[in-house]
């Protein structure tokens, strides 16, 4: 499998399941067998993930990526042995970092939920092709990651503007919008992946979807108040 298919969510899931360390092996950079150069994406994903690990208090040395060819069996064995030695030195996940297991699991779950949003925000840098290892540390900064999580966006459907057209609900990739005919739509914030599809899909003449940054969305209106009473065309 191409290392470019190793998603950020896969790494976070491994840590959520209690894995003490993750190693990703990929083809040498600029030697892609499929001309997709997915290994650059894998590298950028790892650099991003390591910064995120620092943000939540995990030692980034628990995640490592190395590039080698299929013929370099000796190098592969050497690297794997080194990774195992490093992880054993670090000890059980979270213990050496002084993190409570439940708190760590909660943090990992919250970050995992935001993976689609993180990809959208960081898509430009995730597509970078770094040729010089000296550039690795500067691709993502601690301040940038702190800002990323501090200014997380939310989307909210204004009940005064919603016309129950169902366009946003049909476009939502995770079915996070509660909708029905003649019913004001509501975004289920627990399901929302913050991709912004609803914001882009809402007709400009309505402008019902609002983008909120750095603060939670207002609570949804009660279900019994969501019915839209439309005026009959024949009445004034």
Long-range residue pairs from 144-148, CB within 8 A, at least 24 positions apart, any chain: 144/51, 145/51, 145/52, 145/54, 145/55, 146/55, 148/118, 148/121, 148/122
Residue-wise pLDDT for 47-90, tens only, equals 999 999 999 999 999 999 999 988 889 999 999 999 999 999 99
**What CATH code would you report for 153-225?**
3.30.70.20
Residue-wise pLDDT for 112-135, tens only, equals 989 989 998 999 999 999 989 999
Q: How far is CA 152 from the centre of its chain?
A: 11
Instruction: Return the closest-CA partner of residue 20 out of 70, 61, 48.
Output: 61
For the segment 1-10, the average pLDDT, to the nearest whole number, is: 91
Helices (H), 91-134: 101-113, 115-121, 123-126
Average pLDDT, the chain: 92
Instruction: Return the closest-CA partner of residue 104 out of 34, 96, 127, 233.
Output: 96
SS3 content of the chain, % helix, strand, coil (to 5): 45, 15, 45
Q: How many CB atoms lie within 10 A of CB 210?
A: 15
* Residues in the chain, overall count: 236
For the segment 214-235, the average pLDDT, to the nearest whole number, is: 84
Q: What's the pTM?
A: 0.83
Q: What is the pLDDT of residue 236?
A: 47
Residues of the chain with CATH 3.30.70.20: 153-225
Q: How confident is residue 232, by pLDDT bands cut at 50, 70 and 90?
A: low
* Paired strand residues for 209: 157
């Amino acid at each position: 499998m191409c290392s470019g298919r190793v998603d950020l969510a896969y790494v976070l899931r491994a840590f959520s399941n209690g894995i003490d360390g993750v190693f990703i092996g990929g083809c040498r950079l600029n030697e892609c067998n499929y001309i997709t150069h997915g290994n650059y994406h894998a590298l950028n994903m790892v650099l991003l993930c390591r910064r995120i690990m620092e943000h939540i208090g995990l030692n980034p040395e628990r995640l490592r990526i190395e590039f080698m060819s299929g013929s370099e069996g000796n190098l592969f064995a050497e690297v794997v042995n080194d990774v195992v030695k490093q992880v054993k030195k670090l000890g059980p996940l979270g213990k050496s970092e002084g993190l409570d297991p439940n708190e760590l699991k909660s943090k990992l779950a919250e970050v995992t939920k935001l993976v689609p949003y993180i990809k959208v925000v960081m898509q430009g840098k995730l597509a970078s092709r770094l040729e010089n290892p000296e550039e690795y540390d500067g691709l993502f900064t601690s301040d940038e990651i702190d800002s990323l999580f501090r200014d997380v966006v939310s989307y909210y459907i204004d009940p005064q503007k919603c016309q129950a057209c169902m366009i946003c609900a049909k476009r939502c990739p995770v079915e996070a919008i509660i909708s029905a005919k003649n019913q004001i739509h509501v975004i289920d914030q627990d399901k929302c992946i913050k991709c912004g599809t609803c914001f882009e899909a809402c007709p400009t003449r309505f402008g019902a979807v609002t983008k909120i940054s750095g603060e939670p969305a207002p609570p949804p209106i009660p279900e019994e108040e969501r019915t839209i009473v439309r005026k009959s065309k024949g009445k004034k």
